[in-house]
Structure 1
Amino acid sequence: MRTAIVTGEYHIGGETFINRHIQHLFGGDTVVVCGRFHGSNPYDKAWFARRERPTTTDLLTAPYWMMRNRILHNTSRLPFGRAKRDLTTFLRDQKVELILAEFGTQALAMAPLANELDLPIFTYFRGTDASKAIQTERMREAYRRMMPRLAGVFSVSQFLLDNLARHDIRHPDSVVIPSGVDVRRFVPGQKQPLSCLAVGRFVEKKAPLTTLRSFAEATRDLPHARLDFIGDGPLLAPAQALAEELGAKERVIFHGSQPHDFVRGKLATAQFFLQHSITAANGNTEGLPTAIQEAMACGCITVSTRHAGIPEAIDEGKTGWLVEEHDADGFTTAIGRAMQATDTGEMASLARRVAEERFDNDVLLKKLETHIRATLA
């Protein structure tokens, strides 16, 4: 079933969930519609970039189309003029039968055109698009008007569907299918005792300073404990300064942004995975972090927060420990409890087994395909 995968940027290596759909959905019979093309096409797919330079005529008529789309759809994101004509031609020439918008915000731009072309369109909600994006009534109303145009909705967590429903944004065919992880590549290795790993952008939502401070306090009397950070972002420099201030510089390593294979290697040997996710001031939340799913597949014991879809992955006291958002003292206690646990081997084995049962992305990909086919039938 030839599918157009709609995403904001192509290609981004870290978007493993989207890249997997581009590579493998319906046997890889896919094309890509993106907002911006970054010059790399590793999967050799036909692609179309929506944000090309507009013509003079389009610039002159833009106020009319933006106002019209705002009145009809409560959003001005829709393509018009040459961009719409070229996109229509691309979809027809590529014989596209189905559209999968990888974020709700991308579906806003595509749903009316999909309806015009009689193409079924589904969307996937993954985090920001069902949290930060719906902080304004304008966007909430745009989503409400979009929902009847969609054939179905997928989400990486029930939390996101519930978050949408709180604002009366619902679709009768809504299904939770996590992004998943390749459990054949992400496997446990030889674990290094008292080793901790944190993976993600150094941004407010990940609260890296809380993670660092809690680790330093929890392991003050454990000189062999280590914490590896992988990622970059605006809070990286403050985190490095804090590590020195706390006297933990020798026990904390900042690796910066690294390739996925580097992350996989560190997960294989790490004993504990730390992630103090919080709701950012702008409303941004996680969906169900891929990094936690990968950590579980690698037999890591997770210490995290009761945030977004994380409780849907971690069984408290069995595969990890969870605390409330912003509970720094509780996070410190949980890290200490994890390091003093006597059944870490059993917990690691259970985390691996849960990942195999819930997050095998081969199984989840088939589930996605099966649901799409059933809906269209």
Structure 2
Amino acid sequence: MTIKILFTSWYSGLGGGETDLLTLAQGLDQTRYEPHLLLPRVGELGTQWQANGWSVHYERWRGATTWFVPRLWVQFPVVTRMKELLKSQRIDIVHADYHTLPLIVSAAQSLNIPVMWTCHGWWFQPKPWQRGFFQAIPCVARSEAIRDGFLGPRPFLSQDQLPVVYSGVDTTRFTPSKQPEERMKANIPLDAPVVAMIARFQRVKGHYTFLAMARCILEMLPNAHFLIAGEDTFGVARDADYRQQVIENIQADSQLREHVHLLGFRTDVEHVLQAADVVVCPSEFESYGKVNLEAMACGVPVVSTNKGGPSETVKDGETGYLVEAGDVDGFAQAVLSLLQNPQQRAQLGKQARAWVEEHFSAKQMVKQYEETFERLLARSS
């Protein structure tokens, strides 16, 4: 029997969490599962979803803030529309995002449809009036850092009730391969050292740390080049302003203007990673840091912030290096050591690929999710 599973996302752009959702859906046993997606608006996520031949449904709703009151949200009219969707599409199970959770839970539970969600948020803990709500809904966390941040210093759930399922990487898509075409498109000499950063434009992502690091590296390696891929993914005004500030910072510096290449949003991010000698994740904090795993799967060593998820996924000194957030000199020294030592870089890249294949493949992630889905379905039958 085919199981119809509805995924929900309040975000319609294609950031790390949304790419993660696509990877999960793509990895499901397509003879067993039929993926559906519910979005509040048209965007790149829906476009990519439909490109896989899956159904996308649209309803307008306002995403829940961290202050939502469960007993009030169940009264919103969109709950009725969500219930009608679940019935008309004969949905068997729901995987929700945080921002849709207080709406879709009520709709699904009224039809005896099991619901679970994935916790990506580390920066807040549920309010006292929300704890019972979260205690009643099965959930997994993307990393220990996320789980511990969400549960807070006085956990309202045991760690066993919020297991960690690490986001997995498609190791057939993200695989070692040289990409001279990517360098040629940016007019970068094929023998030049290349350092890449892939992130949406948000202040927490650390673009200014990356640019300051680039200045330090150019003093030692004046032929180095730097790739920045990403956009202000979710159309937030302050992110657009931040992006403009970063661009102006680059344009105002003659060295950066010649050696930093802004690539914009890329659906083929693996080609950017494969074109790089080192990938840098300079965020002030990363709840997970998926790009580190994607780079390592491509056999490219990473230099990453040690704040949050990267401390769980990057083996310092073996698959790359971990550096204190904001430590420009630390980032520069770690990147320089890799650029100046091709043998060491190749060895760490090889170890990084093996590490991802063993611990962070999409197959492993999908297997854990499918086991969770089957348990919930069996419990509700």
TM-score (norm: length of structure 1): 0.81
Deviations 1:66-92 (A, max 9, x none): xxx83xx26x544633x3333212212
Correspondence 1:208-219 to 2 at 5 A: 208-219=207-218
Note closer, same or farther for the CA distance 1:46–1:247 as it changes in structure 2 (3 Å cut). Answer: closer
Match of 1:80 in 2: 76
Which string of whole-angstrom CA distances, capped at 9 and with x for unpartnered residues, describes residues 257-298 of structure 1? 2x322x21121121100111114xxxxxx3212211111111
Worse-matched range after superposition: 230-239 or 173-182: 230-239
How far apart are residue 310 of structure 1 and its match? 0.7
SS in 2 for 1:32: strand
Query: Match of 1:252?
Result: 260
Q: Give the deviation of 1:362 after TM superposition.
A: 2.3
Maintained 8 Å contact 2:23/2:169? no
Instruction: Report how far residue 185 of structure 1 moved.
Output: 1.4
Give the match's secondary structure for 1:29.
Answer: strand
From 29, 34, 40, give the equivalent of 1:35: 40
Matched, 1:157 2:143: yes
Aligned match for 2:58, one of 49, 52, 66: 49
Quote the Cα distance in structure 1 between the aligned partners of 2:219 and 2:73: 52
Q: CA deviation at 1:7?
A: 1.2
Choose which of 23, 28, 37 in structure 2 pairs with 1:25. 28
Aligned to 2:87: 92
Aligned partner of 1:271 in structure 2 is 277
> Could you list the runs of 5+ residues in structure 2 that have no partner in the other structure?
63-67, 180-190, 233-240
Matched, 1:130 2:122: yes
Q: Deviations over 1:129-157 (max 9, x none)?
A: 332xx27xxx533541322321x211221
1:178 partnered with 2:174: no
1:240 aligns with 2:247: yes
Structure 1 260/48 Cα, relative in aligned 2: closer, same or farther at 3 Å? closer
Give the one of 94, 97, 104 matched to 2:98.
Answer: 104
- 1:140 is aligned to 127
Task: Note the residue ranges of structure 1 that are not aligned, 5 or more in a row.
Answer: 54-68, 280-285
- Aligned counterparts of 1:231 and 1:88: Cα–Cα separation in 2: 36
Counterparts in 2 of 1:46 and 1:228: CA distance versus 1, 3 Å: closer
Alignment correspondent of 2:107: 113
The answer as to 2:323 corresponding to 1:323 is yes
CA distance in 2, matches of 1:11, 1:253: 23
Q: Please tell me the residue identity of whatever aligns with 1:239.
A: V
Query: Shift in Å at residue 333 of structure 1?
Result: 2.4
How far 1:52 sits from its partner (Å)? 6.5
The alignment status of 1:224 with 2:218, answered yes or no, reads no
Residues 276 and 364 (structure 1 numbering): CA distance in 2 closer, same or farther, change over 3 Å? same
Pick closer, same or farther for the CA change 1:35–1:304 going to 2, 3 Å: same
Give % identity.
Answer: 23
Q: How far did residue 23 of structure 1 move?
A: 4.3
Task: Give the AA of the match of 1:158.
Answer: E
**Aligned position for 2:182:** none
Work out the CA distance in 1 between the residues paired with 2:129 and 2:335. Answer: 42
1:142/1:291 CA distance change after superposition, 3 Å: farther
Per the alignment, in what secondary structure is the counterpart of residue 355 of structure 2? helix
Q: 1:336 to 1:52 in 2, by over 3 A?
A: closer
Give how far 1:376 is off.
Answer: 4.8
1:102-131 CA distance string (max 9 Å, x none): x223223222333322221110112xx332
CA separation of 1:245 and 1:6: change in aligned 2, threshold 3 A: same
Aligned-pair CA distance for 1:50: 3.2
Distance 2:325 2:245 in 1: 20
Secondary structure in structure 2 of the residue aligned to 1:119: coil
| Correspondence for 1:187 | 175
Mean CA deviation greater in 171-180 or 203-212:
171-180
CA distance in 1, matches of 2:88, 2:214: 55
Given the superposition, is the C-alpha separation of residues 10 and 222 from structure 1 closer, same or farther in structure 2, using an over 3 Å criterion?
A: closer
The alpha-carbon distance between structure 1 residues 52 and 215, as it changes in their structure 2 partners (threshold 3 A), is closer
